[in-house]
Structure 1
């Protein structure tokens, strides 16, 4: 296994560990709430971290089986993972502040630019990795 894959797998594990910790936060809020629910963004942060940890495992597989150089693979994976982690951090921020149940209802300055970058970065990064997989494994 290459160093690039090892790095991505480590990050997947760290995101998963973070998801488990967020699950404790969610549970504590559920226990203390009269309705037995956590704040929507605490719930979203927990679920997103779980999903992104497994998505990062898929990214690691593409990195490992890609025909591109480790640098290209790490940059592409890094962009995708950066947006995964930034999204989780945003959900944690709103969960801590309990300032909204929908961050798009009253978006802050830069939200549209961030979302555009997220779309290009995640889709672009995965496209690069998938193309490297196809090039190495199918052609």
Structure 2
């Protein structure tokens, strides 16, 4: 456990995990309150999505922290690798919160004003999340092979 506290990347990821989990708990309350007020006992679509995403990203951030702490790569490499996935996790949560507040859509891609821009953002998101984790995973396997 101490290796988590001695790694800058792991501390950043654990801090993000805590914030994402808190967002998951708060959006869970929001979801519940929406369900109580709804005649169908349902929350708006993106309130549900924000709740689930925040909880999922909290545990994903913990996984990033563990792989960063166990990586054989230098601290600066792990820190650079952990930031893009966390940044895009946070952006997604904020985006879903906004959509939950506005309740203008239950499918933002279908209702997008500029799908090409949205697709570009999703391509960057995929590269950042997969690329960042791939670096941490490679560092983990490098450490395994060195031991």
Q: TM-score range by the shorter chain?
A: over 0.9
The correspondence of residues 5-44 of structure 1 with structure 2, limited to 5 A, is 5-44=10-49
- What residue is the counterpart of 2:102 in the other structure? 97
Q: CA deviation at 1:8?
A: 1.4
Q: 5+ residue gaps in structure 1?
A: none
Question: Would you say the 8 A contact 2:21–2:55 is kept in 1?
Answer: yes
Partners of 1:28 and 1:66 lie apart in 2 by: 42
SS in 1 for 2:40: coil
- What residue is the counterpart of 1:49 in the other structure? 54
TM-score w.r.t. structure 2 length? 0.90
- What residue is the counterpart of 2:79 in the other structure? 74
Partners of 2:25 and 2:81 lie apart in 1 by: 26
Which stretches of structure 1, 4 residues or more, deviate above 4 A after TM superposition? none
Partners of 2:23 and 2:31 lie apart in 1 by: 12
> 2:111 is matched with which residue: 92, 106, 111?
106
> 2:127 is matched with which residue: 114, 120, 125?
120
Q: Which deviations, in whole Å up to 9, do the C-alpha atoms of 1:101-121 show, x marking residues without a partner? A: 011112233211110101111
Partners of 1:126 and 1:96 lie apart in 2 by: 31
SS in 1 for 2:41: coil
TM-score w.r.t. structure 1 length? 0.95
Q: CA deviation at 1:38?
A: 0.4
Q: 5+ residue gaps in structure 2?
A: none
Partners of 2:84 and 2:93 lie apart in 1 by: 14
